[in-house]
Structure 1
Amino acid sequence: MTGWELAVVCAAGLVAGAINAVVGSGSLITFPTLVALGVDPVTANVSNTVGLVPGSFTAAYGYRVELAGQRERLIRLGAASALGALAGGILLLFLDPAVFEVVVVALIAVACVLVLAQPRLNGWMAALREEPRQNGGVALWLGVLASGVYGGYFGAAQGVLLIGLLGIFLDDGLQRVNAAKNVLALTVNGVAAVLFALVADVDWAAVAGVALGAIAGGFAGARLGRRIPAPVLRAVIVCVGITAIIALVYG
């Protein structure tokens, strides 16, 4: 990877780290960037997951005040995230790469729809919640498990999925839900990254570029991201997602 390509990847990691801290879906920035630079889609996905781990950590650390009192909840849900991530990572490694290239287009499209529909879906589903719950019960645990499988396999918009699930099943404020989302996303990315580092083909130059940007982006997103208008973030994510679909289908 040349110097300018590394700079482009680092910039994409910076944006992705900030978006992940606030909304989720940062992979819709970094993954298509790596593919556009000629990295094989499966290798790009693996390298992206590994590279985003430091940014996930800084984002979670940035929300440490909102994490107060959530330890028991996060231990319980974190187990579901870890199991799901392991299953998703194994699926990625053992399914035919051609299957990934087909599935990932559909996943990006679904992620874009979820990003656009998130506010309406969250409000609608929260209105259906019959009673407040602090831990979400079995339904939330299973939902987080499924989200972990998705995150381990691909990961774009897993933050959106988690915010939606936590917002539906927990009686808590949005900022605390977002803080919990960052910890669970860190768990998914961390478990998948360990698996990929041990047995997968990782582009370590791409990892370094994504990680350097994501570290700064995670801090910036946690501190300043709430000031960025959500519609602007959603518009950027969807545009990048559409670009990724076009690149994968016609590239």
Structure 2
Amino acid sequence: MSVAQFVLLIGAGFAAGLIGYLTGLASLVSYPALLAIGLSPVSANVTNTVAMVAVGGGAVAKSAPELAKKPSQMRVLGLMGVLGGVVGAIALLVAPGESFEAVVPVLIAIASVSLLCQPFVRGLAGGRRFPVLYPIAVFVVAVYGGYFGAGAGVMILAVTLTMSAEPLWRAAMLKSYVLSIANLVAAIGFAFFGPVHWTAALAMAIGGFAGGYVGPPVVERINPTLLRVVVSVCGLGLAAWLARGWV
């Protein structure tokens, strides 16, 4: 890898970290950047997962005091992140991926529409919380996050905003927390059994940590309705891009 490519990946990592915290779409930047320097799709996927651990680490480091205010919630969601990451990593390493990848655009589109319609969905729920269903849904998304990850942040945001009473700024923190754990667990497996490009992962991680770290103070200053709409539209765009292989 050339110095120019290393620097390019640091910049892409920073953009992925910031965009990922704001929208949950870090892989929309990081995955294509890894492909652009010549990595194969599988190598880019596992390298991206390893690098994105730093994105979540930066965001969690900045938002740790706020997250610590609900320790029981952190324990439950952390466990779901660990279990989901393990299952997702195993699925990627041992199972045929074609059938799962075929439904990924549909999953992202559903999450994006749910996020777009979140006020209406919460209205139908009558303001109720779903303390049992919410962790289960987080586990399912964590499995996907450990397996592939693109759009997983959108899914976590949609699940959190529709099944809990958390505001958008805290939902963004929870999203980063869960995905950082799922990515870390998956990354450990990939480190031993996957084709990780470590130099690329290092460059992306340096930028990703910085981008994730500046994310929390930024998201608290953005109009939540506008951010929700932007995330939803970007998520639908990602779903359309991933579905291009259908035609």
Please indicate the TM-score interval, normalised by the length of the shorter structure.
Answer: 0.7 to 0.9
- Taking the aligned partners of 2:111 and 2:162, their CA distance within structure 1 comes to 15
2:30 counterpart letter in structure 1: T
- Residue 117 of structure 2 corresponds to 121
1:70-149, aligned counterparts within 5 Å? 70-96=70-96, 99-100=97-98, 103-104=100-101, 107-108=104-105, 110-111=107-108, 114-115=111-112, 117=113, 119-133=115-129, 136-149=130-143
SS of the residue corresponding to residue 66 of structure 2 reads: coil
- Residue 177 of structure 1 corresponds to 171
Alpha-carbon distance, 1:129 to partner: 2.1
Aligned residues: 243
- Taking the aligned partners of 1:233 and 1:181, their CA distance within structure 2 comes to 13
Measured at CA, do residues 126 and 85 of structure 1 come closer, stay the same or move farther in structure 2, by a change above 3 Å? same
Identity of aligned residues (%): 28
Extract unaligned runs of 5+ from structure 1.
none
Alpha-carbon distance, 1:249 to partner: 8.4
Alpha-carbon distance, 1:217 to partner: 0.5
Contact kept in structure 1, 2:9 and 2:200, CA below 8 Å: yes
Alpha-carbon distance, 1:236 to partner: 6.4
Matched, 1:15 2:15: yes
Alpha-carbon distance, 1:201 to partner: 1.5
Alpha-carbon distance, 1:110 to partner: 4.8
- Taking the aligned partners of 1:59 and 1:164, their CA distance within structure 2 comes to 19
Alpha-carbon distance, 1:32 to partner: 1.7
- Residue 6 of structure 2 corresponds to 6
TM-score, normalised by the number of residues in structure 1:
0.84
Contact kept in structure 2, 1:109 and 1:242, CA below 8 Å: no
- Taking the aligned partners of 1:190 and 1:50, their CA distance within structure 2 comes to 7
Contact kept in structure 1, 2:55 and 2:212, CA below 8 Å: yes
- Taking the aligned partners of 1:154 and 1:77, their CA distance within structure 2 comes to 19
Alpha-carbon distance, 1:55 to partner: 1.5
Extract unaligned runs of 5+ from structure 2.
none
Structure 1 residues 144-166: Cα deviation after superposition (integer angstroms, max 9, x where no partner): 11101100101112111111111
